[in-house]
Amino acid sequence: MMASSIPHLFRCPISLELFTDPVTLCTGQTYERSSIEKWMAAGNLTCPVTMQKLHDTSVVPNHTLRHLIDQWFQGTGLDEPFLLSLKQNLSSDQATITSKIQALGTIRALLEESPWIHSHINQLGFVPLLIELISGGSVTRPSAEWLRLVEEGLACIVDILALRPSDGSLCKMFQEGFRLASFKILFKQGSDRIMVLMCKAVEMLSVSSETKYPCQIMREIVVLICHNEEEISRAALRAVHALCCLENNLENLVKAGAVEGVIGFILRDDQNDKVKDLTAAAASTLEKLVGIDEGKEALLNHPYGVVAIVRNVFRVSSDRQSIESALNSLMVMCSGSASSRASHQAIDAGVLSQLLLLLQSHYSSRTKTKARTLLKLLGT
């Protein structure tokens, strides 16, 4: 199958994606209905292309353009009946696992060769179906064949999410209680690839404000941060880092052992050149976790908590983001109720010499100001 490109006139000027529901404004410009509705809902009363004021905010369906797109779409061989046949195969109880795996392979090939098709795949409800598919085997000992199906289903979900971020409805599906037992089994008994894909899916779904996983699922992800397989460890850290972006996840992450997991990653990072590119993500994750009292306590109670920040983040990386995250974390730790304890740990770990070296290096004035602030907090 040859890769297909979308004619320019078939793309919405706002989303740059293939029209599925084109509507025309009073200015004569056509947009995807959902895109122009969001534009106007945000208080914009001008045409995005011409910037003319809209004297009339009503929209008219562009049936002519819709017909032309349908004709072009049929010519690609990827029309709706073909996609629906794939969907029917995946949802059928009579279809074999082998045939479903083949259908998933076809979908992945379509997404790779013709990325624009994801809008139609989304419109036809493939992602909810795929989530149903991978969470349907709530058996304690999943078969190798079913795990192969899950691998391909997860790969499809990740491919689709990579092309278009998820909305809140998909996040809610992933978090529904009756699915969590299946997901827990996948984290514990799935292949290395399944673990990586599960972490990637969680990372991608975490862009939604609806994302809030229970502690037991977060614990499964956190455990993988220190997995022996580098790819799994990296994927788990990225997932936890993404989850930290939402404040309502922080407490559950701390309860799940995220502070200990990230410290373990940072300590191992010092010995493994291959994962040093994730030092910034690890340092940033720790910074967010110590932003709540439970996170501070977990860091202080870890025998190498403050040491990991001082000796590893400062020493291993000259990356500005890593250094700033380390400074922010230490300033939080050394200015609260347990400041004396944290300060002594930091000084014993050699933070003073690290800060003095930083002040003599080529860092920004903002970074150096933070270093001076930390020195004052340490009583020097």
Q: What is the pLDDT of residue 10?
A: 82
Q: Are 43 and 20 contained in the same domain?
A: yes
Q: What is the pLDDT of residue 297?
A: 94
Q: Are 130 and 159 contained in the same domain?
A: yes
Which tokens go with 362? 């080529």
Residues 6+ apart with CB under 8 A from 319: 279, 280
SS3 state of residue 30: strand
Cα 114 from chain centroid? 23
In terms of DSSP bridges, do strands 60-61 and 30-32 run parallel, antiparallel, or are they unpaired?
A: unpaired
Q: What is the pLDDT of residue 276?
A: 62
Q: What one-letter code names the amino acid at 77?
A: G
Burial (CB count within 10 angstroms: exposed 0-12, middle 13-18, buried 19+), residue 291: middle
Q: What is the pLDDT along the chain (380 residues), one digit of tens a residue?
A: 333 477 788 889 998 888 888 999 988 889 999 899 999 999 999 999 989 899 889 999 998 888 888 777 766 656 677 788 889 999 998 988 889 999 999 888 878 876 667 777 887 888 889 988 888 765 567 788 889 999 999 999 999 888 776 656 677 777 676 678 888 888 988 999 999 999 999 998 887 666 666 777 899 999 999 999 999 999 999 999 999 988 889 999 999 999 999 999 998 866 555 556 788 899 999 999 999 999 999 999 999 999 999 987 776 556 788 899 999 999 999 987 778 899 999 999 999 998 998 998 888 999 999 999 999 999 86
Q: Are 150 and 118 contained in the same domain?
A: yes
CATH number of the domain to which 29 belongs: 3.30.40.10
Q: Are 105 and 162 contained in the same domain?
A: yes
Q: Of 152, 173, 191, which closes a domain?
A: 191
Q: Are 82 and 119 contained in the same domain?
A: yes
DSSP conformational letter for 116: G
Q: What one-letter code names the amino acid at 242?
A: A
Looking at the domain assignment, is residue 184 inside a domain? yes
Q: What does the buried/exposed string (b/e) look like for 82-121 if buried means 16 or more CB atoms within 10 Å of the residue's CB?
A: ebeebbebbeeeeeeeeebbebbebbbebbeebbbbbbbb
Looking at the domain assignment, is residue 175 inside a domain? yes
Q: What is the pLDDT of residue 314?
A: 72
Q: Are 46 and 105 contained in the same domain?
A: no
Cα pseudo-dihedral 293, 280, 155, 153, rounded to 10: 0
Q: Are 181 and 101 contained in the same domain?
A: yes
Looking at the domain assignment, is residue 303 inside a domain? no
Torsion angles phi and psi, residue 24, rounded to 5: -110, 135
Q: What is the pTM of this model?
A: 0.78
Q: Are 61 and 112 contained in the same domain?
A: no
DSSP conformational letter for 327: H
Q: What is the pLDDT of residue 46?
A: 93
Q: Of 33, 52, 69, which closes a domain?
A: 69
Number of residues assigned to the chain: 380
Q: What is the pLDDT of residue 180?
A: 80
Q: Are 47 and 119 contained in the same domain?
A: no
For residue 24, the enclosing domain spans 8-69
Looking at the domain assignment, is residue 50 inside a domain? yes
Q: Are 182 and 84 contained in the same domain?
A: yes
Looking at the domain assignment, is residue 186 inside a domain? yes
Q: Are 102 and 178 contained in the same domain?
A: yes
Q: Are 84 and 179 contained in the same domain?
A: yes
DSSP conformational letter for 135: T
Domain count across the chain: 2
